[in-house]
Amino acid sequence: MNLKEKTQKELEEKVEALENLIARRGVGSDYLEKAERIQRDLNIALVLGTATVILGVTALAVYKFKGE
């Protein structure tokens, strides 16, 4: 790795660290934290809902085939 690539990589890492610091402590960080929490909860609900639908359809299919 030459000097230019190394310098670019280090600068990108520092910019990313600074962006993370701003996201954690900057203006709107509380709103961002709340939005991330809501998104996580929605993702969990979506996964559980999908699993429930799949189990329901499977149970219905098994019930229908056993009835025949």
Reported as a pLDDT band with limits 50, 70 and 90, residue 60 is very high
Largest interatomic CA distance in the chain = 74
Please check whether residue 23 is in contact with residue 29, taking contact to mean a CB–CB distance below 8 angstroms.
Answer: yes
Residue 27 has pLDDT above 80, yes or no: no
Percent of the chain scored above 70 by pLDDT?
96
Q: What is the DSSP string of the chain?
A: --HHHHHHHHHHHHHHHHHHHHHHHSTTHHHHHHHHHHHHHHHHHHHHHHHHHHHHHHHHHHHHHHH-
pLDDT score of 68 more than 90: no
The Cβ of residue 23 has, within 10 Å, a number of other Cβ atoms equal to: 13
pLDDT band at 53 (very low <50, low <70, confident <90, very high): very high
